[in-house]
Amino acid sequence: MIEPAVLCSDLYKTFGAGEDAVKVLRGVNFEVPRGEMTFLVGPSGCGKTTLLSVIAGLLNPSQGDLRVLGTPLAQLKGSAAVEFRRKNLGFVFQQFNLLPALTAAENAAVPLLAAGWKRKAAVEKAEEILNDLGLAARTRAMPNQLSGGQQQRVAFARALIHEPQLIVCDEPTSALDAETGHHVMELLRKVAVRPGRAVLVVTHDSRIFSFADRIAHMNDGLVDKIEINSGVSTC
């Protein structure tokens, strides 16, 4: 049996201490299989973003077991955790978080530049991916010259360029209109879902639920329902 990309067992996350302590994750049991797109959904404040941050190694869990791509991520310290993220994870953010001073291709090339690639080679590879994402004519555009959908596609390219095994997306359509959001999710599904790679999407946008292979429902710090989507939308 193939090990899931993410395996959370009885995962807790508490912010603060003593009387001010806030328990955000209250014993999450959850897994993200490879080769699928998994959505994490739920109402505001239920702990979706915190769980995503813990899974991405940006926050340490307070308690419980977490294995990401077979690695006990919480046990990695300092540069090892940074290295793990850089090699194995791709990120898509709600507000895109593109560097305004870099072109689209340069933004997409950032993970390779962080890995020590030469700029020319990194940008060439970024241009190839942007081409696959339908942005061949906009590779030298600055972020402020791109529409929201185009910026998100650049963010996809940045998340995919180093071929990570886990891609985490935080509300990828919330800054886009419905039609653009739909197109963007179509594209994400087309280019990101691969055998061996998992895509985890946090969203509250029910209009895109049809793109998920499975939907994990969170409520009050717990994943309380997993829904398998048999009629998943494909392009």
Partner 1 sequence: MKYIAWQMLTGDRAKYLGLIFAIAFSTFLMSHQVSIFCGLMNRTASQIDDVHDANIWVMDSKTQYLDEVKALTDQDLYRIRGVEGVQWAVPLFKGTSRAKAQDGKFRGVILMGLDDASLVGLPRSVRLGDPQHLRDPETIAIDETGYRFFFPGEPYALGRTLDLNDHTLKIVAIIDSSAPFVNLPVVYTKYTQARDLVGRERNQLSFVLAQAAPGVTDAEVTRRITERTGLKAMTGNAFGWETIWYYIKNTGIPINFGITVVIALVVGTVVAGQTFYLFTVENLKQFGALKAIGVSDWRIVGMILMQAVIVGAVGYGLGIAMTAGFFAATADNLDLRGFRMLPEIMLGTAGAVFLIVFLASAVSVRRVIVLEPAVVFRG
Residues that bind partner 1 (CB under 8 A): 49, 52-53, 56, 58-59, 79, 82-87, 89, 91, 93-95, 97, 99-102, 106, 110-111, 113-114, 119, 158, 170-171, 174
Beta strands in the chain (DSSP E): 6-15, 22-32, 37-41, 63-68, 89-92, 166-170, 198-202, 214-219, 222-228
Nearer to partner 1, 22 or 114 (CB): 114
| Spatial separation of the C-alpha atoms in residues 152 and 235, rounded to whole Å | 18
Nearer to partner 1, 34 or 48 (CB): 48
Nearer to partner 1, 58 or 232 (CB): 58
Angstrom CA distances, 234 to 46, 135, 172, 229, stand at 29, 21, 17, 12
| Spatial separation of the C-alpha atoms in residues 210 and 208, rounded to whole Å | 5
Nearer to partner 1, 54 or 130 (CB): 54
CB of 59 to partner 1, least distance (A): 5
CB-hemisphere CA count at 13 Å for 140? 1
DSSP per-residue codes, 116-131: T--HHHHHHHHHHHHH
CB of 12 to partner 1, least distance (A): 16
CB of 18 to partner 1, least distance (A): 21
CB of 99 to partner 1, least distance (A): 5
Six token digits for residue 212? 């998920």
- Dihedral sign, CA of 208, 219, 97, 156? negative
CB of 15 to partner 1, least distance (A): 11
Nearer to partner 1, 170 or 213 (CB): 170
